[in-house]
């Protein structure tokens, strides 16, 4: 470590503390070294691109999409690439993108509004659109259609904070000078719809790194299947 510090001309560890702690520059160098290691891995994958897909394909999928696409997508990937192991992680879209930046995922599907700008080094492709509808208990709506300002005071049954749908709704309300009132927040589409049906409030219903080496084809297949399922 001391040789490394001498080469850089910087102090990376505070040796006046026990245990040793990185200096502010040490933390910056650490993050840069992680980025260098990721690029080295990318180069290795790039030159291995001629081989058949193998190893582990690490996918990130929000629960909302997973309920729709995972069964079909994973079955077809397994049939097409039998030696490839699939590993799936669920989470909010923003957290999945962050995990891709950190090299923890190979690809992810996520729900974002049009025009979303992704971090440098992340390549994105739109695979479909999911119409988003406001739902209410049967018989509670006297008109065929409503505007947000006409119904927002009923309150909402939504996912916890971090959900892209919830954030989009909050933006839409804020743009109209309206507030978001949460009656219940919980995970699970079926549970949310059940709570909405019982009159608890309104509800809402319904990306890959630059280099993937020999995992490019399975990721493309996953995106194609997911897109077809969303448009079905």
CA atoms of 74 and 139, how far apart (whole Å): 39
- Has residue 232 got a pLDDT over 60? no
The answer to whether domain 2-44 has CATH 3.40.50.2300 is: no
| Range of weakest confidence among 44-53, 71-80, 88-97, 153-162 | 44-53
Strand blocks (E) in the chain: 13-14, 21-22, 55-60, 84-89, 107-108, 133-135, 156-158, 182-185, 202-205
Which of residues 164 and 160 earns the better pLDDT score? 160
pTM: 0.55
- Domain pair 51-129+207-231 / 133-205, same fold: yes
Whether the Cβ atoms of residue 93 and residue 66 lie closer than 8 Å to each other? no
Domain 51-129+207-231 belongs to what topology? D-Maltodextrin-Binding Protein; domain 2 (3.40.190)
Q: Write down the pLDDT at residue 51.
A: 64
Residue 24: burial class (beta carbons within 10 Å; 0-12, 13-18, 19+): exposed
pLDDT in tens, 83-120: 888 899 988 888 888 888 888 888 888 877 777 788 87
- Identify the pLDDT of residue 206: 64
pLDDT at residue number 2:
82
pLDDT at 226: 61
Strand (E) or helix (H) holding 82: none
Enter the tokens of residue 13: 């560890």
Question: What CATH architecture does domain 133-205 belong to?
Answer: 3-Layer(aba) Sandwich (3.40)
Q: Is the peptide bond before 19 cis (omega within 30 degrees of 0)?
A: yes
Higher pLDDT, 222 or 23: 23
Q: What is the pLDDT of residue 36?
A: 85
pLDDT of residue 140 exceeding 90, the answer is: no
d(CA 25, CA 147): 52
The structural domains of the chain, with segments of one domain joined by +, span 2-44, 51-129+207-231, 133-205
């Amino acid at each position: 470590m001391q040789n490394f510090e001498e080469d850089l001309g910087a102090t990376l560890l505070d040796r006046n503390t026990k245990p040793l702690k990185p200096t502010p520059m040490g933390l910056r160098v650490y993050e840069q070294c992680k980025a260098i290691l990721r690029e080295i891995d990318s180069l290795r994958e790039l030159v291995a691109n001629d081989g058949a897909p193998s190893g582990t394909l690490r996918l990130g999928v929000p629960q909302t999409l997973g309920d729709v696409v995972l069964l079909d997508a994973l079955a077809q990937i397994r049939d097409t690439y039998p030696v490839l192991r699939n590993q799936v992680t669920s989470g909010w879209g923003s957290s999945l993108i962050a995990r891709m930046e950190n090299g923890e995922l190979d690809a992810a599907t996520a729900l974002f509004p049009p025009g979303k700008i992704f971090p440098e080094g992340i390549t994105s492709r739109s695979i479909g659109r999911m119409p988003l509808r406001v739902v209410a208990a049967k018989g509670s709506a006297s008109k065929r259609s409503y505007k947000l300002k006409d119904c927002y005071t009923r309150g909402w049954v939504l996912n916890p904070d971090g959900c892209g749908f919830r954030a989009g709704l909050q933006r839409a309300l804020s743009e109209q000078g309206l507030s978001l009132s949460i009656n219940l927040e919980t995970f699970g589409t079926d549970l949310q719809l059940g709570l909405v049906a019982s009159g608890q409030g309104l509800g809402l219903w319904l990306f890959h790194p630059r280099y993937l080496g020999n995992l490019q084809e399975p990721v493309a297949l996953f995106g194609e299947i997911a897109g077809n399922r969303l448009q079905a």
